[in-house]
Amino acid sequence: MTVIYEPKGKAKEYSPLACNLYGGCSHACKYCYCPAIRYKTLEEWSANPQPRKDILKKLGKEAIKLQGDEREILFCFMSDPYQSNESAELTKQALLICEKYQLKAQILTKAGQRVINHFDILKRNNYKFGSTIIMKSESLREYWEPGAPTIESRYNAIKEAKKYGIYTWISVEPVVDASEALQVISDLIDYVDFWKLGKLNHFSKKESYINWKDYLQKAEKILQGKKYYIKNDLVKYK
């Protein structure tokens, strides 16, 4: 496989398979690890995102070989699959390829309305809808995720997905403010089927300001009786 791959390291905690449709991401999140991997600055990474060359053609060829595979394919680790109208259409075609070859899929995005337009595809295939929401404060979002959709739009998308009967999950990672992350969990506790909790990495000074043991204890108290997964870099604080 080339475009469908088995994630390694921390990414493997999120999905057994993945596919990255785009190079670059317009959200320009300050905590994004992708620019460093691609030896680019954040400005270069976010300036002009483009679909990977022949991505749908390559995905189709590999989907044929994997037909009926039970492992979920996550769209996407290296960029947001709904960062623009163009990427949303590309993602739609990728999901339809998965549908054609009986492959399981899940979405991880910060987008709202663009995903709602594809809820019919997710619903009929039991595909999962995941959103990254790490804070409630819009001013904090504007600082850390300057090109991303509003927090309100993400809240609304999760709530709409739940109404639609779609399996919902939220990635609360990276945590840049513990109280904000806890507020997200409290706000959406009744709308989310599964939670994935992580911490902040690669910002050593800011990491040191957060009491991770306290954060985890409070998060687990809120999540009592709910389904959740604590990533390895956070679970060590139990």
**What are 40-51's pLDDT values in tens digits?**
999 999 999 999
Structure tokens, 233: 């870099």
Instruction: Please state the rounded mean pLDDT for residues 45-61.
Output: 96
Instruction: Please state the rounded mean pLDDT for residues 193-222.
Output: 93
Instruction: Please state the rounded mean pLDDT for residues 120-133.
Output: 98
Return d(Cα 132, Cα 77) in angstroms, integer.
11
Q: What is the pLDDT of residue 135?
A: 98
Q: Percent of the chain beyond pLDDT 70?
A: 100
Q: What is the pLDDT of residue 8?
A: 87
Return d(Cα 229, Cα 120) in angstroms, integer.
27
Instruction: Please state the rounded mean pLDDT for residues 97-103.
Output: 98
Instruction: Please state the rounded mean pLDDT for residues 189-193.
Output: 98
**Of 8 and 87, the one with more pLDDT:** 87
Structure tokens, 164: 């639609």
Q: Percent of the chain beyond pLDDT 90?
A: 89
pLDDT category of residue 112 using cuts at 50, 70 and 90: confident
pLDDT category of residue 14 using cuts at 50, 70 and 90: confident
The CATH number for 171's domain is 3.20.20.70
pLDDT for 72 beyond 90: yes
Domain tally for the chain?
1
The model's pTM = 0.95
pLDDT for 153 beyond 90: yes
Q: Write out the residue range of the structural domain in which residue 181 sits.
A: 4-235
Instruction: Please state the rounded mean pLDDT for residues 1-22.
Output: 90
pLDDT for 141 beyond 90: yes
Q: What is the pLDDT of residue 1?
A: 58
pLDDT for 207 beyond 90: no
Return d(Cα 23, Cα 87) in angstroms, integer.
11
Return d(Cα 20, Cα 78) in angstroms, integer.
6
Amino acid identity, position 117: N
